[in-house]
């Protein structure tokens, strides 16, 4: 199945389903990347042994001149040092403006490869072949970046892919914690926009976690559609797009203070969405939503409380400095009901403290 992302003048397809990768060469051609052109496949050390060889073979058989580059697995790969290695390799193998960069991997490989594509010779075509559930989130919106030692995603750009080919078959090898982490953002897309999607996720939790491909396809289509709806109304993050940050102000603080190690992104966001629901209740903005939020996250084996205690003052400091924040104020996306959120730009410290101390 295909979802078309329309952003202003441009649009690109997101193909989702079992076996999509087998059709990659055709999909590339449809997306305007003609055979004969050079393709630069970037992947990581965990994904390479699983999916690199057959992907390269499929593309070569499709008539493309394929080169590849393997980066270390994990967030550390999103560095200027690895970015420079990619540039050096790209120049060495003679990629030109007509070449395309293809990210075979999760959010890390996607962000890194996308940023390389955005900047190589001032921008070349970018294709995403996501291998994680979480990457559904980064497959829409065009944000690409690498990290700086002083901040995550600080060096980046907006660069839309020409094509996203999402093969649900490639998700079956994901480690269980990565599966759960991906579902956190899927659930988030329900919680911010679509109460009936949340109900559907509650009803199909078992099937989805057993990798039922029809259900996975439906879940990813729906989650991506929510993101498309939000991003297409606000491509450059002026207003509405901020609602995608549900659970993220808290979550980023949890990630930062655990040194991006103890918990992964989806887990931090899950705990953050529970905190946001509790804060909304405390502020009288919503009633009886934290209980259901906790329940659905638990269904997907996600944590709903911090595994280790963190210092409340330090968390508040990090949240005031959040990139999305404004002038040291505490800005939060808070639920007003299941499937509905609002942006609150000046929340008092006291209730936040109370929620963090719970
Ligand atoms: P995301 O940000 O999308 O969660 P990452 O790029 O951080 O993705 O990937 C999470 C981890 O899972 C990494 O260690 C990566 O190597 C590994 N990984 C990604 N896709 C797969 C897959 N399909 N099968 C097994 N491991 C995978
Ligand atoms: Zn996120």
Please write the tens of the pLDDT for every residue from 107-158: 999 999 999 999 999 999 999 999 999 999 999 989 999 999 888 899 999 9
Q: Using 50, 70 and 90 to split pLDDT, how confident is the model at 65?
A: very high
**Ligand 1 contacts CB of residue 103 (under 6 A):** no
Q: How confident is the model at residue 329 (pLDDT cuts 50, 70, 90)?
A: confident
Out of 78, 152, 265, 278, the active site residue is 265
Ligand 1 test: best mutation among 45, 76, 105, most atoms within 8 Å of CB?
105
Q: Work out the angle between the directed axes of helices 312-320 and 248-257 (0-180°, nearest 10).
A: 120
* 109-142: burial string, b at 16+ Cβ within 10 Å, e else: bbbbbbbbbbbbeeebbbbbbbbbbbbbbbbbbb
248 annotated active-site: yes
The mean pLDDT value of the chain amounts to 93
- Options 68, 152, 222, 252, the catalytic residue: 252
Give catalytic status of residue 267 as yes or no: no
Could you confirm whether 122 is annotated as catalytic? Answer: yes
301 Cβ contact partners less than 8 Å away, ≥ 6 residues apart: 176, 180, 209
Q: What is the pLDDT of residue 4?
A: 82
Residues of the chain with CATH 1.20.1090.10: 176-357
- Give the side-chain half-sphere CA count within 13 A for 3: 24
Would the CB of 288 count as within 6 Å of ligand 1?
no
- Does the domain at residues 176-357 carry the CATH identifier 1.10.3720.10? no
What is the pLDDT at residue 2? 82
Classified by CATH at the fold level, domain 2-171 comes out as: Rossmann fold (3.40.50)
Residue 83 in tokens: 């970015």
Q: Which of 237, 282, 292, 301 is catalytic?
A: 237
In the structure, what pLDDT confidence band is assigned to residue 59 with cuts at 50, 70 and 90? very high
**CA 140–ligand 1 middle distance (angstroms):** 18
Ligand at minimal distance from the CA of 105 is: 1
Dist CA 309 CA 323 (whole Å): 24
pLDDT for residue 273 is more than 90 = yes
Please say if 75 is a catalytic residue: no
Mutate to test the pocket of ligand 1, among 47, 72, 78, 268 (most ligand atoms within 8 A of CB): 47
Q: Quick one: which ligand is closest to 178's CA? A: 1
Give the number of whichever ligand sits closest to the CA of residue 137.
2
- Ligand 2 mean position to 185 CA, how many Å? 6
Give the count of alpha carbons within 13 A of 258, CB side only. 19
Q: 176 pLDDT exceeds 80? A: yes
Phi and psi dihedrals of 193, rounded to 5? Answer: -145, -25
Does residue 213 carry a catalytic annotation? no
Q: What is the pLDDT of residues 289-327, one digit of tens each?
A: 999 999 999 999 999 999 888 999 999 999 988 766 667
User: Active site residue: 9, 122, 261, 348, which one?
Assistant: 122
| Cα–Cα separations (whole angstroms), residue 106 to 45, 74, 109, 130, 180 | 12, 10, 6, 5, 14
**In the chain, which segments carry CATH 3.40.50.1970?**
2-171
pLDDT tier, 1 (very low <50, low <70, confident <90, very high otherwise)? confident
Residues 143, 152, 162, 222: which is the catalytic one? 143
| Cα 110 versus chain centre, distance | 9
Does residue 236 carry a catalytic annotation? no
Active site residue 159: no
């Amino acid at each position: 199945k295909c979802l078309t992302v329309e952003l202003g003048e441009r649009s690109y397809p997101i193909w989702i389903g079992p076996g999509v990768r087998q059709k990659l060469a055709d999909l590339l051609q449809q997306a305007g990347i003609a055979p004969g052109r050079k393709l630069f496949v970037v992947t990581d050390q965990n994904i390479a042994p699983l999916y690199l060889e057959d992907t390269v073979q499929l593309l070569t058989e499709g008539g493309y001149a394929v080169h590849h580059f393997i980066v270390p697995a994990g967030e550390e790969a999103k560095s200027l040092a690895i970015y420079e290695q990619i540039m050096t390799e790209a120049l060495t193998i003679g990629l030109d403006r007509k070449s395309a960069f293809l990210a075979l991997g999760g959010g890390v490989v996607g962000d890194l490869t996308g940023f390389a594509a955005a900047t190589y010779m001032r921008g070349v075509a970018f294709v995403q072949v996501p291998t994680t559930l979480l990457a559904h989130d980064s497959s829409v919106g065009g944000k690409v970046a690498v990290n700086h030692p002083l901040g995550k995603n600080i060096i980046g750009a907006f660069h839309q892919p020409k094509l996203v080919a999402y093969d649900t078959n490639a998700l079956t090898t994901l480690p269980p914690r990565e599966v759960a982490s991906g579902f956190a953002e899927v659930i988030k897309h329900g919680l911010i926009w679509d109460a009936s999607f949340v109900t559907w996720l509650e009803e199909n939790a078992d099937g989805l976690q057993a990798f039922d491909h029809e259900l996975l396809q439906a879940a990813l289509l729906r989650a991506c559609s929510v993101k498309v709806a939000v991003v297409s109304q606000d491509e450059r993050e002026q207003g509405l797009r901020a609602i995608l940050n549900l659970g993220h102000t808290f979550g980023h603080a949890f990630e930062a203070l655990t040194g991006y190690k103890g918990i992964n992104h989806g887990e931090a966001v899950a705990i953050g969405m529970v905190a946001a629901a509790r804060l909304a209740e405390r502020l009288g903005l919503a009633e009886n939503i934290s209980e259901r939020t906790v329940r659905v996250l638990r269904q997907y084996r996600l944590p709903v409380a911090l595994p280790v205690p963190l210092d409340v003052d330090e968390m508040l400091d990090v949240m005031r400095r959040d990139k999305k924040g404004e002038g040291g104020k505490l800005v939060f996306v808070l639920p007003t009901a299941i499937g509905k959120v609002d942006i609150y730009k000046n929340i008092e410290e006291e209730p936040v403290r109370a929620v963090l101390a719970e």
